[in-house]
Amino acid sequence: MKISRFAALAGAASLAVGLSACGGGGGASGGDSIKIGIKFDQPGLGLNDAGKYSGFDVDVANYVAKELGKTKVTFVQAPSKQREDLIATGQVDLIFATYSITDARKEKVSFAGPYFIAGQDLLVAADSTITGPKDLDGKKLCSVTGSTSADNVKKDYPGVQLQNFDTYSKCLDLVVNGQLDALTTDNTILAGYAAQPAYKGKLKVVGAPFSEERYGVGLKKGDVELCKKVNTALEKMVSSGEWQKAVDKNFGPAGFKVDSATNPPKPDACS
């Protein structure tokens, strides 16, 4: 299945079941059900393939849900620009969606974690001569609305021609065909795309990360109790070896090397 179909799948099914059959309400505060936001179109991190969920974020989410006593997980699509609203309106209890912890976001939501530290990089055509963001002046760069990635590049390289889409998968064919020069987001996400059969040998990750992205678990602002429970679950996942198993399972096939100097990270104190 090609990546270009993932977005269609995601739009066709806004809700689907995770660990078991979809349950009703209850959320994180009570009962055995929980609603968790993930990305639906990020291979290796959060992917919805006709109702089958896979990726590192999915594995961490399922582990945390189990530790919280939740046996029924409903996965909800969480595009970058909608994540804060999904939490604020109660459509999800938690978000595991390559959700970088930033001061601006902490004004609207709270974060548990981080549970992974990635770095922003560039995905380009296999024959591209781009070696880093310094080569982007006058070039067409693709990113996703609501992501920190594009802002980081535009701030330091104002000459770049930025084009935003609602999902990363919409950028891929445009980069392969030369209509766009590069796609920027976290190296973990880019590695997953480059490893897909439809794009193998056609795309490459530049391999020159230029930021630090601390993936956090988004939750309702001020919910310190839930934050602490999630952090306890994350620490247990690391100490049990399950975190490393999830890393090897999801990033190994893409040949992505996790920076052991920063991973696994210790969760921040909840406030």
Q: Enumerate the β-bridge partners of residue 47.
A: 41, 54
Tell me, what's the pLDDT at 200?
A: 85
- Condensed to tens digits (0 to 9), the pLDDT of residues 100-136 reads 999 999 999 999 999 999 999 999 999 999 999 999 9
Tell me, what's the pLDDT at 29?
A: 59
Q: What is the mean pLDDT of residues 147-155?
A: 77
Tell me, what's the pLDDT at 130?
A: 96
- Condensed to tens digits (0 to 9), the pLDDT of residues 256-269 reads 889 899 999 999 99
Q: Which of 146-150, 221-225, 233-237 has the lowest mean pLDDT?
A: 146-150
Domain range holding 38? 3-117+214-254
Residue 271 belongs to some domain of the structure: no
Q: What is the mean pLDDT of residues 215-228?
A: 98
- Please spell the DSSP secondary structure of the chain, one letter per residue: --GGGHHHHHHH-SEEESSSS---S-TTTSSSEEEEEE-SEETTTEEEETTEEESHHHHHHHHHHHHTT--EEEEEE--GGGHHHHHHTTS-SEEEEEEE--HHHHTTEEEEEEEEEE-EEEEEETT----SGGG-TT-EEEEETT-HHHHHHHHH-TTSEEEEESSTHHHHHHHHTTSSSEEEEEHHHHHHHHTSTTTTTTEEE-----S-EEEEEEEETT-HHHHHHHHHHHHHHHHHTHHHHHHHHHHGGGTPPP-TTT-SPPPPPP-
| CA–CA separation, 239 and 75 (whole Å) | 26
This prediction's pTM? 0.80
- Residue 139 shares a structural domain with residue 197: yes
Tell me, what's the pLDDT at 157?
A: 85
| CA–CA separation, 182 and 188 (whole Å) | 16
- Residue 167 shares a structural domain with residue 233: no
- Residue 88 shares a structural domain with residue 150: no
Which uninterrupted H or E stretch holds 155? helix 148-156
State both tokens at 96: 């595991």
- Residue 136 shares a structural domain with residue 101: no
Residue 262 belongs to some domain of the structure: no
Q: Of 108, 133, 71, 123, which is closest to residue 216 (Cα–Cα)?
A: 108
Residue 270 belongs to some domain of the structure: no
- Condensed to tens digits (0 to 9), the pLDDT of residues 5-64 reads 444 444 444 444 344 333 333 346 579 999 999 999 999 999 999 999 999 999 999 999
> How far is residue 174 from each of residues 24, 148, 149, 231, 250, measured CA to CA in Å?
40, 21, 18, 39, 25
How many independent structural domains does the chain possess?
A: 2
What is the rounded radius of gyration, in angstroms, for the C-alpha atoms of the chain? 18
Q: What is the mean pLDDT of residues 151-177?
A: 87
- Residue 199 shares a structural domain with residue 240: no
- Residue 100 shares a structural domain with residue 224: yes
- Residue 194 shares a structural domain with residue 60: no
- Residue 174 shares a structural domain with residue 153: yes
Tell me, what's the pLDDT at 254?
A: 81
- Residue 111 shares a structural domain with residue 137: no
- Condensed to tens digits (0 to 9), the pLDDT of residues 53-104 reads 999 999 999 999 999 999 999 999 999 999 999 999 999 999 999 999 999 9
- Residue 225 shares a structural domain with residue 240: yes
Tell me, what's the pLDDT at 148?
A: 72
Residue 150 above 80 pLDDT? no
